[in-house]
Amino acid sequence: MDRNDRIFVAGHRGLVGSAIVRKLRSLGYERLILQNRSDLDLRDQKAVKQFFAQERPDYVIVAAAKVGGIYANNSFPAEFIYDNLMIQTNVIHHAYESGVNKLLFLGSSCIYPKYAPQPMAESCLLTGALEPTNEPYAVAKIAGIKLCESYNRQYGTNFIVAMPTNLYGPNDCFDLQSAHVLPALIRKFHEGKQQNASEVPVWGTGRVRREFLHVDDLGEACVFLLHHFDAQPHSAIINVGTGTDVTIAELAEMIAATCGFRGKVVFDSRMPDGTPQKLLDVSKINGLGWKARIPLEQGIQQTYEWYRQAVKKT
């Protein structure tokens, strides 16, 4: 991939897509193809076909997806499976038809079995039952992975899959009805401080463990993989994470301190915890020469500052 190549970043305004665009531009890649959702509905097969026929990108990065936390996944399962199946199927198929040099599809660590051995290696895929709260989303993502691998086997394409752990950073969703745990906690503790609240509730027991990767680290990893990782005959996936995790209780205390909230953190054990632990085995990508750089405490501080500035503008 060189700086004259045309690169289509699907989902460029989202958390992941915007980070990838920032990284590409910082490296001098200017021939980026970016389409707003209002101009191109990736669920529309005819529109996607016309787009690829007209634009003819050399590289494709599929960062477009419908995403959300436990509440959103539980509340809108049909949307999560339908939208994601349609988006990825249309983009991957028409990328193949237009003859792109390489495609990078963004998966998710939630596609691994609920009780997978920790840390989870790429080989864990499809070895056990999924976490019920996000099964429709996970099934859609698994279908995208298998679509990439099937096209590689049958057509000789070079479609790769990056499997990131839990992400956070600028342009994240802070809406409490659809946000993931880290941005949701940032908003809760920020508002708790503003309102001088005596306590802030947190879903679950606080005992489950999660790994968190700053989205700018993922953006760097995606560009790295486009240069240094190719699909194998029967596997196209590679984990992207930090290789370390924390409990939700530790995360909550860290965010509360960052936001300056001095009240009590109250865990609501009536609410679902989700998977007990989700830690990725990142030995494969580390072996290629890439490692995450942004410590969690630093990343939370940066994300909180971004959120505070965003709140001021509303």
* Residue stretches of the annotated binding site for NADP(+): 11-17, 106-109, 141, 164-167, 180
What's the length of the chain?
314
> How wide is the angle at C-alpha 106 spanned by C-alphas 6 and 271, nearest 5°?
150
Burial class (CB in 10 A: 0-12, 13-18, 19+), 191: middle
Q: Please give the positions annotated as active site.
A: 137
Q: What are the binding residues?
A: 11-17, 106-109, 141, 164-167, 180, 188, 203, 210, 273
Q: What are the binding residues for substrate?
A: 188, 203, 210, 273
Cα distances (angstroms) measured from residue 123 to each of 13, 35, 170: 32, 35, 31
Q: Cα(175)–Cα(71) distance, rounded to whole angstroms? A: 11
Name the 3-class secondary structure at 166: strand
Position 268: which residue type? D
Q: Cα(37)–Cα(25) distance, rounded to whole angstroms? A: 21
DSSP secondary structure of 192-217: HHHTT-SEEEEES-S--EE-EEEHHH
